Amino acid sequence: MENNNQAINWRDRYIAWFSQNFGRQWYGKVIELATSEDERIADIGQFLLLLTEKLYELEVER
């Protein structure tokens, strides 16, 4: 459960950072891209989501 809370806290910080720097529309756009019917566009969105996961792993290792 603690790892889940850490993930939620990190996700919240990540969303807050994007919200502050790029606006909430940008984060929503990542989700929109990842779920696109166009495979090329969905690949970009999936890459951004994977990048988020890798950044989380680095944050946890600190």
Instruction: Write the pLDDT tens digit of every residue in 5-60.
Output: 776 677 777 767 766 766 556 667 777 888 889 999 889 888 888 877 777 676 66
Other CB atoms within 10 A of residue 53 CB = 10
Question: pLDDT value at position 62?
Answer: 60
User: Alpha carbon 10 to chain centroid distance?
Assistant: 10
Model's pTM, two decimal places? 0.48
Question: pLDDT value at position 22?
Answer: 63
Question: pLDDT value at position 37?
Answer: 93
